[in-house]
Amino acid sequence: MSKIELELTAMLEPAVEALGFELLGLEFVQAGRHSTLRVYIDHENGITVDNCADVSRQVSAILDVEDPITNEYDLEVSSPGVDRPLFKAAHYEQAQGEELRVRTKLPQDGRRNFKGDLVAVSGDMITLQIDGQDHMIMLSNIERANIIAKF
C-alpha cells in the first residue's frame, strides 16, 4: 500500500467500523489531475447499495474535514464483489486454496503478473503454485491481488 493509502485507511477505518462494517481496504488511483478513491467494505450478511451509500456519506464527511487529498477525486464505496481484492495478510490466509491474480510492484522471476493457486501463507510471504511450480512472493511487493471467481 502507498503512504496515502495507509493514511486514508487509518483515518477511515474507525468510522466504517462504527457503522458496523469491515473496511477491507482501499485503492487510491491517480489519473493526472483527477483521481479515484475506491473503498471496499464487507459485512457477514453482505453489502447492499444502501450500505454503500451510508458509508459513502460518512467517509465523504471525514474527507471534507480532514482534506487529505489535494486534487480532485471521485469517491467509490463498493462491496468486494466476486473478484475479491486482497489487502491484508489475514485476507490471504482466508483465500488459501483459491486461484489468484497477482501483480507485483517490482519484477520477480522476470515478470510482474502471476496467476496461480494460493497454496501457502507464511509470515510476510505467500506461495502461488503456477503450472506445478511454487513462486514465493513477499506481501510488501504485491501491488494488487484478486481472487479469480469460479462459476
Range of the domain at 114: 89-147
Work out the percent of the chain whose per-residue pLDDT is above 70.
100
Place of cell 506445478: 132
Confidence (pLDDT) at 105: 95
Among 78, 100, 124, where does a domain finish?
78
**CATH code, domain with 140:** 2.30.30.520
pLDDT confidence band for 91 (50 / 70 / 90): very high
Query: What are the pLDDT digits (tens) for 100-142?
Result: 999 999 999 899 999 999 999 999 999 999 999 999 999 999 9
Q: Answer yes or no: do 135 and 95 share one domain.
A: yes
**CATH code, domain with 71:** 3.30.300.70
Q: DSSP class of residue 52?
A: H
Mean pLDDT of 47-75: 95
For 44, other C-beta atoms within 10 Å of its C-beta total 7
Q: Give me the number of domains the chain comprises.
A: 2
**Residue 65 half-sphere exposure, CB side, CA atoms within 13 Å?**
7
Q: How far apart are the first and last CA of the chain?
A: 30
Asked whether residue 83 is domain-assigned, the answer is: no
Lowest mean pLDDT among 9-23, 29-43, 45-59, 125-139: 29-43
pLDDT of 144 higher than 80 = yes
Alpha carbon distance 82, 151 (integer Å): 10
